[in-house]
Structure 1
Amino acid sequence: MRWSLELAQALVVLVLWVCCGSGTGCPCSDRALCEPVTVEHEFEVFVFDVGGKDWKYYDWFKVTTIAAFGPYDPELLCYAHANQVRVVLRAGMLEGTIYAECHWVGEGQMNHLIIIWKPPTGSVTVQMATNWVTFNVPWSPDCIDGRCYDFLRIANSCDFLFVMSYDMQSQMWDNCFAKANAPYYQTLSGYSAYINLGIDSRKLVLGVPWYGYDYTCTQFFETGRCVLEKIPFRGAPCSNAAGRQVPYKEIVQHVHKSITGRYWDDEQKVPSYIYMVNNTFHEVWYDDPQSISIKSAIMKKLRLRGIGMWNGNMLNYSDDHFIVKQTEDMWNALCPL
């Protein structure tokens, strides 16, 4: 499916109407904060936010862009712009979703657009009348979950691609065992595949998960051999639909109470743990500061544009000393020395 320039312009108009329709004018006490963020960051740290006020506790020394998935929050816009951080908002359209920055409600002038669109099949050409365009892509260009797009042409039409290097077990072809959400070598292979298509590595932002999967074992033999219910997805006999997503802030509360404690898998380079409820074993695979740091090193290895995560709300931002240290470690893992 190919996007025409006319459709692109129509989408831009829609986004302007959704984000910047008639209304109240600049919501910030300092009118200058309603102007576009013009700072160019050499290193991108892209944070998805799903709502609430957790953003007040983000590491604003690191963040360069906030993608706001929750209700529009003018306070977030003003605070982010005060820190020279872009904010992009969400608006629904057709089969997929578009994201666009609105500098201020009422009189905003859009100059940033993020496209996250999932057409049924075929390649996509993105052409947008704007000066900052990005596209979310799966962890690999090899037709993951039926996303058989023309990624090179998309990349050439965008400023960068956000690579969603998580949910890698959405299609399990080999066996129906619980596995890591984002194994290291699988992650690395995805970026290598994009670069081998001819995509400039500086157009790739590494996406990492701040969540894991809790799998119920239909049979349990040992760590790493938790048999799952067979839930097929797009032709694959098994999938991560057999588990439930668990935020990191919940995981850190449970791991030390588990049967195994934190268990490091050196092959997948991620941790896991086992617990039992009503005589049923559960295996939880997740990412923590160690596994995130290892994946973050891919940025230097392949000279990527930056890093981001789904999502910033997955951490605990309480003032408990132990929790504060865990949260700081996760933020610091995004930018290894």
Structure 2
Amino acid sequence: MRWSLELAQALVVLVLWVCCGSGTGCPCSDRALCSPVTVEHEFEVFVFDVGGTDWKYYDWSKVTTIAKVGSNNPELLCHAHAKKVRVVLKGYIPINIILNRGSRRTWIDNQVQLAKRQFMDGINLDLVEAIGVKSPKYDALTQLVVETVQLFHREIPGSQVTFNVPWSPDCIDGRCYDFLRIANSCDFLFVMSYDMQSQMWDDCFAKANAPYYQTLSGYSAYINLGIDSRKLVLGVPWYGYDYPCTQFFGVRCVLKKVPFRGAPCSFLAGHQVPYKEIIKYAHKSITGRSWDDEQKAPYYIYMVNNTFHEVWYDDPQSISMKSAIMKELRLGGIGTWNGNMLNYGDDPLAVMQTENMWNALCTF
């Protein structure tokens, strides 16, 4: 009798899966587009999307993965899958749950079920909280990543699980994670090679968001930990920082001291500006586009209300140089935060500038 009951329950589960599983509720006109993308690419071009309709104008000949930030967009999913491009969840890890095994498992279960409901191809994990090497959270974070990878790979075959890391493994902003074990467990690390002025210890001047040699040193440090270079995807910024100067000496912009995680000065003295806004006003500046050969980055200076401002950013020239690092160190790919920061209008100049930024990701 018990065997018959178990058999009946199994048959019910099977029927429910066939009738109500993959395909039912599919938002795409072709139900095949709701199946996970399993195509393997030679290298990753990983792009974050923060909403709206800009995705319609992305260079889909280059993109391999879209990390969707914010609400679900079925139209984006269907279009991406038609192009054999993965769409993954953006999973912000709540720091307060990682020490409790049950809470971790519940959170991971919820992410997997959300990915299934939205026909996603995986998840991009992100944590920006400081964790010390001797903290209990050090090992707990690694375990959360391991458990997430295991469950996603089992429940969604071919799915992709990635983890965002700072530009260097040297405890940037107090983020002392077990980078080697995390890299070994997940599909790859997305290295956020930007916001490098989050902590300024030596001086308080405006500087490049992602200086070239600092970028290069970060990848060398990850590889020196024993991480396979193919498990590192190089993240570049499609934005810059506008810094108001408290004093201005030639091209030296002295910043207001705004501390961050122990450092006396930080990028919080300025504010982020998307590339599409930066280039709109560069020609109206005092200097026009200038180039700093030491940091391998462009900048310009303008004045408003008797205050000098220095704007540091990345453009096709500086991004192309970073793209070459990917080839030189045999990294697993390149990506950007974020795809929405370019001008997708129909003005001929904007079209050219946007195309040049996309091309800079894959100069080789």
**TM-score for both structures, normalised by structure 1:** 0.89
Which residue identity does 2:225 align to in structure 1? L
Give SS of 2:117's match. Answer: coil
The equivalent residue for 1:139 is 167
Q: Secondary structure at the residue paired with 2:32?
A: helix
For 2:121 and 2:86, how far apart are their aligned partners in 1? 11
1:194 aligned residue? 222
Instruction: Give the Cα–Cα distance (whole angstroms) in 1 for the partners of residues 345 and 361 of structure 2.
Output: 20
Residue 174 of structure 1 pairs with residue 202 of structure 2? yes
- Structure 2 match to 1:105: 117
Q: Distance in 2 between matches of 1:245 and 1:26?
A: 38
Structure 2 equivalent of residue 277 of structure 1 = 304
Alignment-mate amino acid for residue 86 of structure 1: R
Instruction: Say whether residues 1:248 and 2:275 are aligned partners.
Output: yes
**Counterpart selection for 2:255 from 225, 228, 234:** 228
**Uncovered stretches (5+) of structure 1, i.e. residues with no partner:** 1-19
Report the alpha carbon displacement of residue 288 of structure 1 after superposing the two structures with TM.
0.2
Deviation at 1:40, TM superposition (A): 0.5
Cα deviation code 1:75-134 (max 9, x no counterpart): 00000000000011235553289877966637x4x6523221345424231213223321
Instruction: Give every structure 1 segment of 4 or more consecutive aligned residues whose post-TM-superposition deviation is greater than 3 Å.
Output: 90-93, 96-106
From the superposition, tell whether residues 92 and 151 of structure 1 become closer, same or farther in structure 2 (CA, over 3 Å). Answer: closer
- 1:12 matched to which residue of 2? none
Per the alignment, residue 60 of structure 1 pairs with 60
Q: State the Cα deviation string for residues 50-79 of structure 1 (Å, max 9, x = none).
A: 000000000000000001113111000000
Deviation at residue 210 of structure 1 after TM alignment? 0.2
Hey, what does 1:8 align to over in structure 2? none
Q: Which amino acid aligns with 1:292?
A: I
- 67-76 or 209-218: bigger deviation: 67-76
Deviates more, 1:123-132 or 1:312-321: 123-132
Rg bigger for which structure? 2
Summarize the Cα distance change of 1:200–1:148 in structure 2 as closer, same or farther, 3 Å threshold: same
Q: Which residue of 2 aligns with 1:116?
A: 126
Residue identity opposite 1:298 in structure 2: I
| SS at 2:217 equivalent | helix
In structure 1, C-alpha distance between the alignment counterparts of 2:177 and 2:116, rounded to whole Å: 34
Q: Secondary structure at the match of 1:182?
A: coil
CA contact (8 A) 2:209 2:240 kept: yes
- Measure the CA separation in 2 of the matches of 1:48 and 1:214: 22
> Identical aligned pairs, as a percentage?
76
Contact 1:101/1:113 (CA < 8 Å) preserved in 2? no
Residue 184 of structure 2 is matched in structure 1 by 156
Partner of 2:361: 334
Write the distance in 1 (CA, Å) between the matches of 2:69 and 2:91: 9
| AA aligned opposite 1:336 | T
2:44 is matched with which residue? 44
**Matches of 1:328 and 1:90 in 2, distance apart?**
26
Amino acid at match of 1:156: N
Letter in 1 for 2:242: D
Match of 2:85 in 1: 85
Q: How far apart, CA to CA, are the structure 2 residues paired with 1:299 and 1:94?
A: 31
Give the whole-Å Cα distance in 1 for the aligned partners of 2:263 and 2:70.
Answer: 32
Paired letter, 2:28: C
Question: Does the CA-based 8 Å contact 1:35-1:103 persist in structure 2?
Answer: no
Match of 1:302 in 2: 329
Cα 1:138/1:77, change in 2 over 3 Å: same
SS in 2 for 1:130: helix
Q: What pairs up with 1:3-82 in 2 under 5 angstroms?
A: 25-82=25-82
8 Å CA contact retained: 2:49, 2:66: yes
TM-score, length basis structure 2:
0.82
Instruction: Please list the CA deviations of residues 294-333 of structure 1 after superposition, one character each: whole Å capped at 9, or x if unmatched.
Output: 0110001100000000000000000111110000000000
Secondary structure at 1:257's aligned position in 2? coil
Please tell me the residue identity of whatever aligns with 2:73. D
Q: Deviations over 1:179-226 (max 9, x none)?
A: 000000000000000000000000000000000000000000011x10
Report what 1:7 is aligned to. none
Alignment length (residue pairs): 315
Structure 1 residue 336 displacement after superposition: 0.8
More helix, by proportion: 2
